[in-house]
Amino acid sequence: MRIIDNVLELQQELGACAAEKIGFVPTMGALHNGHLTLVRQAREQCDRVVVSIFVNPTQFNDPKDLECYPRQVSADCALLEGVGVDFVFVPSVEQIYPERDSRIFELGGVDAGMEGASRPGHFNGVAQVVSRLFDIVKPTVAYFGEKDFQQVAVIKAMVAQLSIDVKIVVVPIVREEDGLALSSRNVLLTAECRAAAPKIYQALRSAQKRVPQFSPLGLKAIITDMVEADGILKVIYFEAVDAATMQSVDSWSESDNIQGCIAVQAGAVRLIDNIKLK
């Protein structure tokens, strides 16, 4: 496994594998089994596997969140070595953005609600960094987690907008035994918030069982009551959305594929999760 921090060096290495199937997993590091599941899939399906570790400043709307984001590159590299990665790309901010990236992406509205509404500029930053990384790595296939459900729609919209020749593979959410979706941010949870956090998935599961008896709005009330019951967690939003357009629906007949997406404040930590409702 080679660890590379320089764009030109990575491109040289990858140029030598141009005829091969290159699988790419972009991450922000602090790796866990969710990330590793994406990497294992890439390893099974591709000739070469590239993983990037880059905490992208342009997607953080909250400077404190950027500052506190966990960083542990040596431990990450040890994990990646264990799953057979060929190249770990660990660039500096200057390598990714030699000059300020002022591109504004038109993402067809998939970026407007939910995370887009509560984190202004976040998805534009995601589109900036992923397009830049795709340009550097030129992957055949790129792997993304369903945990960031809206992000996948943003990536697909960005790929379509820029006509990038890459296959996007979406990997199901990996969870702790108690149901909490794995996230790099989980290590930042206080013991009290960590103990309460499984409520999020419990509420999503119970909402799933109440379709179609309850309307999307009815579900929102049920979920909010469940998640907030012990006064530790606070629901930032819950929305039932069309799984392709990310537009929220008022009734179950509005779409054949509906996902329930939630964001929760757990102390200083923001957690997201989602579940298929239809």
The answer to whether 273 touches 161, Cβ cutoff 8 Å, is no
Q: What are the helix (H) ranges across the chain?
A: 7-15, 33-45, 63-68, 73-82, 93-96, 114-118, 122-137, 149-161, 191-196, 199-209, 216-228
Q: Does 189 bind ligand AMP (CB under 6 A)?
A: no
Q: Which stretch binds ligand AMP (CB under 6 A): 35-43, 94-102, 106-114, 257-265?
A: 35-43
Q: Which stretch binds ligand AMP (CB under 6 A): 4-12, 33-41, 114-122, 194-202?
A: 33-41
Q: What is the three-class DSSP state of 22?
A: strand
Least CB distance to ligand AMP at residue 19 (A): 27
Q: Which of 10, 23, 27, 239 binds ligand AMP (CB under 6 A)?
A: 27
β pairing state of 48-53 and 87-89: parallel
24: which residues sit within 8 A by CB, 6+ positions away?
42, 49, 50, 51, 52, 133, 134, 137, 139, 141, 142, 143
Q: How far apart are CA 24 and CA 77, in angstroms?
A: 15
Q: Which stretch binds ligand AMP (CB under 6 A): 29-37, 161-169, 203-211, 263-271?
A: 29-37
The answer to whether 260 touches 219, Cβ cutoff 8 Å, is yes
Q: Does 154 bind ligand AMP (CB under 6 A)?
A: no
Q: Does 38 bind ligand AMP (CB under 6 A)?
A: yes
Fill in the amino acid letter for 126. Answer: V
Q: Which of 86, 115, 148, 239 binds ligand AMP (CB under 6 A)?
A: 148
Q: Does 181 bind ligand AMP (CB under 6 A)?
A: yes
Q: How far apart are CA 86 and CA 80, in angstroms?
A: 9
Catalytic annotation present for 122: no
Q: Does 272 bind ligand AMP (CB under 6 A)?
A: no
Q: What is the three-class DSSP state of 241?
A: strand
Least CB distance to ligand AMP at residue 65 (A): 12
Q: Which of 90, 127, 173, 223 binds ligand AMP (CB under 6 A)?
A: 173
**Total residues at interface with ligand AMP (CB under 6 A):** 17
Tell me the C-alpha to C-alpha distance, in Å, between residue 212 and each of 140, 175, 251, 270.
40, 26, 9, 29
Cβ-closest residue to ligand AMP?
Answer: 145
Of 35, 43, 132, 199, the catalytic one is 35
Q: Does 50 bind ligand AMP (CB under 6 A)?
A: no
Q: Does 128 bind ligand AMP (CB under 6 A)?
A: no
Number of H helices, E strands in the chain: 11, 9
Catalytic residue numbers, as ranges: 35
Residues of the shown chain interacting with ligand AMP in the complex, contacts defined by CB under 6 A: 27-28, 34-35, 37-38, 144-145, 147-148, 171, 173-174, 181-184
